Amino acid sequence: MAIAGLADHDAVAARYKSVDPVYEQTRDMRLLGFVFFLLSDVVLFSMFIFAYLYLRSSVPNWPPITASGHRLPRFDTAFAAWNSIVLFGSGVTMHFAMENWKHLNREKFNFWLVSTIGLGIAFLLGQAYEYHNAAISWAGSTMGASFFTLTGMHGFHVFLGVLYLVVLLVQANRGVYTPSKYFGLTAGTLYWHFVDVIWVALFYLFYLM
Amino acid sequence: MTAALFERGLAFLGALLVGGTALVQLKNDWGSHGLDAAVTKVLLGLMAFGCVLALLAAINVLGGGS
């Protein structure tokens, strides 16, 4: 029994130490491809952001004044600041998850990755609450249309990110990744940091500017 | 205490905690090399910047909402 256990341990250790030459050779190319994917997403968000800035600069007052003569309200900065911290916190927990993966600490990796997924879901629930209680709607003003388009597109990215992280969690626990071969986890971490950083821009544009 | 004040307080404490942690992680990763490390450093720095914005919003320096 003990010998069988040792043999298992040796097999796992050998698998962890083994280096896949094809993976080693293509890892940087995959990474570069993923960074280009993120850059294409930057372009997508930039187009909508510049459209918003153009619309914003085309009216004399912001928030704009409606046809009926009343000024639209500003968004709730206090709630948005708190919800932003929830999302930024998930970036930190994702970073911790990745560090623990590199240091072979599987339990802490699981804990931090599940925390990241939980914080991502909390952010989405916060955004749903904000949409439900918003004083403006999608239709009727450039402010509302811009806000719901951009934050909705970002929220969709967060939603996809949460699904992606769940897949990574399952894959990691099924042994798809090893400490020397974990490109999927690297890509997931970069994607999650990316949605955090896009939110920095949106938070400033809609709530602080 | 109003809900807005409570949210500002949470945002203030959270921004200090998350921003501080992001900066510590950035410092720890500063010497690491490779494309993924470089992108991670940039993104961690921007996230820390986001925490500064949230902190300033929490204390009403930025943003004019509730």
Residue B65 included in any domain: no
* Whole-number Å distance between alpha carbons of B45 and A51: 26
Q: Whole-angstrom Cα distance, residue A127 to residue A155?
A: 8
User: Side chain identity at A22, as an amino acid letter?
Assistant: V
d(CA B1, nearest CA chain A) in Å:
14
Q: What pLDDT is stored for residue A19 in this prediction?
A: 64
Return d(Cα A5, Cα B20) in angstroms, integer: 44
| pLDDT value for A13 | 52
**Structural domain containing residue A123:** 26-208
Percent with pLDDT over 70 in chain A: 91
Question: Interface of chain A against chain B, CB under 8 Å?
Answer: 28, 31-32, 35, 38, 74-82, 84-86, 88-89, 91-92, 95, 186, 189-190, 193-194, 196-197, 199-200, 203-204, 207-208
- pLDDT reported for residue A8: 55
Q: φ and ψ at A33, to 5 degrees? A: -60, -40
Mean pLDDT of A47-53: 94
ipTM: 0.87
Q: What is the mean pLDDT of chain A?
A: 87
Is the CB of residue B31 less than 8 Å away from at least one CB of chain A? no
- Whether B43 sits inside 8 A of A197 (CB atoms) is yes
**Is A5 part of any domain?**
no
Residue A200 has pLDDT above 50, yes or no: yes
Span A46-65, mean pLDDT?
89
Residue A36, domain CATH: 1.20.120.80
Within a domain: A35:
yes
Give the residue with greater pLDDT, A207 vs A71.
A207
Per-residue confidence (pLDDT) for residue A188, from 0 to 100: 94
Give a yes or no: residue A59 inside a domain.
Answer: yes
The one-letter amino acid at A110: N
pLDDT at residue A92 tops 90:
yes
In a domain, A126, yes or no: yes
Question: Which has the closest alpha carbon to A29: B41, B60, B22, B35?
Answer: B35
pLDDT at residue A3 greater than cutoff 50: no
Mutate to test the interface with A, among B1, B7, B61 (most CBs of A within 10 A): B7
Across the interface, of B3, B8, B57, the residue whose CB is closest to A208 is: B57
Evaluate whether residue A43 is within a structural domain: yes
Query: Does a structural domain hold residue B13?
Result: yes
Enumerate residue ranges in chain B where pLDDT < 70. Answer: 1, 64-66
Range in A39-48, A59-68, A157-166, A190-199 with the lowest mean pLDDT:
A59-68
CB-CB neighbors (< 8 A) of A207 in chain B: 57, 63, 65
pLDDT at A5 over 50: no
The count of domains in chain B is: 1
The count of domains in chain A is 1
CB–CB of A82 and B19 under 8 A? Answer: no
Site from B46, B49, B61 to mutate, A interface, most A CB atoms within 10 angstroms: B46
Chain B residue numbers with beta carbons less than 8 Å from the beta carbon of A197 are 43, 46-47, 50
Looking at chain A, list the stretches that DSSP marks H as alpha helix, in order from N- to C-terminal side.
2-17, 21-57, 77-102, 106-133, 142-173, 183-203
Model confidence pLDDT, tens digit, residues A107-138: 999 999 999 999 999 999 999 999 998 888 88
Is A202's pLDDT higher than 70?
yes
Q: Range of B52's domain?
A: 7-58
pTM higher than 0.95: no
**In A, which residues are within 8 Å of B66 by CB distance?**
76-79
Contact B65 A86 (CB under 8 A): no
pLDDT of amino acid A70: 77
